[in-house]
Structure 1
Amino acid sequence: MSTPKIAIIIGSTRETRFADKPAAWLIEKAKELRSDLDFDLVDLRDFDLPLFDEPASNLWMPSQDPKAVAWQEKIAQYDGFIFLVAEYNHSITGALKNALDQAYKEWTKKPMTAFAYGSMGGARALEHLRAIAVELQMVPVRSALHLGGRDFFAVHPMGGNAPLSTVEDALVPSLTGMLEDFSWWVKATSAARASDAAKAA
């Protein structure tokens, strides 16, 4: 079996977003820790998605907007997803919710986890994301990574703006456990999907 492909999805599109700093740190550390997974950064900014305006989800009928179709084709390439989750008013960003709604089949039967951040470590936003993932038939894994409290303000531009490396001693143990959990589910679901495809052929 080929190396599973994992999308690290940057879920904020604001010009002044903080997401680029944790995204760069995450993909570097993930590649160091897991040679059994192939990681890509996927930035919602690159897709210019309209607000969802299709007659129905692509579970039921093909989408018409070429930007939505391009997004679906991109997501379909991956075997699992790690979301960069900014907490906006106790939930995920509107841009991320819209991106999730613009596909369905491409998410299904694939695991997801997250690197969530905010004053409370993005915990409330991640709970919302997990509920959405269940409805999209993804497999939310238990383990996730949270950047919050003093560490968040130490590295955020509105705080100390230090590099993430200054707080990584607190993050790497959780990241290691998260990726171990996630890798197991990536391999299990990839094998199951391959089996289903073989039976359908």
Structure 2
Amino acid sequence: MQIYIIVGSVREGRIAIKVARWVSSAIAGYGYAGIQPEIVDLKEWNLPFFAGAHPPATGIYDQPKQQQWADKIAQADAIIFISPEYNHGYSPALKNALDYIGKEWAGKPAAYIGYGATNGSRSIDQIRQVATQLGLVDSNAVLEIRDIFSRNSAEQFEPNSFDEKGLQAALKKLIKYAR
């Protein structure tokens, strides 16, 4: 089973990539048989602001990068979205990535990890609304990371016991839906 961990921040000094690396290694460490995590970094994808001639819901992708993104997302069995909270919402890079394509999202179970103001709860709420409209299956797998800025100055994400338990619970739900 292929689980994509989508890094929803492209800013310099971002924490989302650290969280994604932690999630990926944690999945391997928890010993889930047949689960293959892959980090999908929006910074590396560098999707230009969507300006296609056709609405993505039509499935007509007239931009090469749009078709590449569609092909990539089509390969996932489940998705974990990681996003900071920006002004009570989620990152514009993630919004653009969601809006870039249509049918490739449908039917895939999703989990959500947020951090920032209110522990990322408002960004997660908004992502879930858009994801549901796109046809992603809400597995109710959520992790809100608390106090991330005051305890995460190292090169790697420093989870606490709450983070570890929360991730295990979220993965259990996500995998249940994906199977």
Query: What is the TM-score of this pair, normalised by structure 1?
Result: 0.83
Q: Relative to 1, partners in 2 of residues 1:186 and 1:59: Cα closer, same or farther, differing over 3 Å?
A: same
SS at match of 2:128: helix
From the two aligned structures, give the one with the greater strand fraction: 2
User: Are 1:57 and 2:55 counterparts?
Assistant: yes
Q: Distance in 2 between matches of 1:84 and 1:19?
A: 6
State the identity as a percent. Answer: 31
Contact 1:115–1:147 (CA<8 Å) still a contact in 2? Answer: yes
Partner of 1:172: 164
Q: Of 108, 111, 121, which aligns to 1:110?
A: 108
What is the rounded CA distance, in whole Å, between the counterparts of 1:29 and 1:67 in structure 2?
31
Amino acid at match of 1:126: I
1:8 aligns to what SS in structure 2? strand
Partner of residue 197, structure 1? none
Output the TM-score relative to the length of structure 2.
0.92
Consecutive unaligned residues of structure 1, counting only runs of 5 or more, are 188-201
> Residues of 2 paired with 1:53 and 1:83: CA distance?
23
Structure 2 residues not aligned, in runs of 5+? none
**Counterpart of 2:116 in structure 1: which amino acid?**
G
Aligned-pair CA distance for 1:53: 1.0
Partner of 1:122: 120
1:57 is displaced (CA, Å) by 2.7
1:102–1:173 Cα change, 3 Å: same
Matched, 1:153 2:153: no
Structure possessing the higher radius of gyration over alpha carbons: 1
SS in 2 for 1:63: coil
Match in the other structure for 1:6: 3
When residues 67 and 174 of structure 1 are mapped into structure 2, their CA distance, relative to the original with a 3 A threshold, is same
Query: 1 CA distance for matches of 2:50 and 2:6?
Result: 18
Which residue is 2:18 aligned to? Answer: 21
Give the deviation of 1:173 after TM superposition: 1.2
Distance 1:50 1:115 in 2: 24
How far apart are residue 99 of structure 1 and its match? 0.4
Q: CA RMSD in A?
A: 1.6
Q: 1:77 deviation in Å?
A: 0.7
Of the three residues 169, 174, 179, the one matched with 1:182 is 174
Mapped to 2, the partners of 1:43 and 1:164 lie a distance apart of 16
Distance in 2 between residues matched to 1:45 and 1:79, nearest whole Å: 22
Query: Of 138, 141, 145, which residue of structure 2 is paired with 1:140?
Result: 138
Measure, in 2, the Cα distance between the counterparts of 1:173 and 1:22: 15
Quote the Cα distance in structure 2 between the aligned partners of 1:20 and 1:162.
Answer: 10
Could you tell me how far apart the structure 2 residues matched to 1:164 and 1:16 are?
12
Structure 1 residue 67 displacement after superposition: 1.0
